Amino acid sequence: MNHRAFQDQLAQFPVNAADILHQLIHQRGRLEPEQVNELKGLMELSSEQLLKALLPLAASMSTCPISSFSVGAIVEGFRPEGQGPVYLGANLEIAGQPLKMAIHAEQAAISNAWHQGETRLRRLMVNEAPCGHCRQFMNELNEIDQMDITVSQLDSDQQRQYSLSNLLPDAFGPGDLKQGTRLMGASLLSLESPDPADKLVNAATEAACRSYAPYSGCHSGVALLIENGDIISGRYAENVAFNPGMTAVEAALANLRLSSLAEAPGKIIDAVMVEKQASVSHQAMTASIISHMGAELRYFVV
pLDDT at 210: 97
pLDDT at 156: 87
Q: Is the dihedral of CA 158, 163, 166, 172 positive or negative?
A: positive
Active site residue 38: no
Host domain of residue 290: 199-301
Strand arrangement of the beta sheet that strand 297-301 belongs to: 231-235, 220-226, 268-275, 297-301
**290 in the same domain as 249:** yes
Distance from C-alpha of 150 to C-alpha of 161, rounded to nearest angstrom: 5
Please report whether residue 65 resides in a domain. Answer: yes
**172 in the same domain as 29:** yes
The structure's pTM equals 0.97
pLDDT at 161: 96
Q: Which of 143, 177, 211 delimits the end of a domain?
A: 177
pLDDT at 89: 98
pLDDT at 187: 77
pLDDT at 155: 85
Of 38, 48, 76, 106, catalytic = 106
For each successive 10 residues of the chain (302 residues), what is the average pLDDT? Answer: 93 97 98 98 96 97 96 97 97 93 97 98 97 98 97 90 97 94 91 98 98 97 98 98 97 98 94 97 97 96 97
**153 in the same domain as 105:** yes
Instruction: Show contacts of 42-49: CB within 8 Å, 24+ apart.
Output: 42/14, 42/16, 42/17, 43/13, 43/14, 43/17, 47/76, 47/83, 48/125, 48/150, 48/152, 48/159
pLDDT at 54: 98
Find, among 295, 250, 235, the residue nearest to 271 by Cα: 295
**232 in the same domain as 156:** no
**129 in the same domain as 67:** yes
**160 in the same domain as 288:** no
**132 in the same domain as 7:** yes
pLDDT at 154: 86
pLDDT at 188: 87
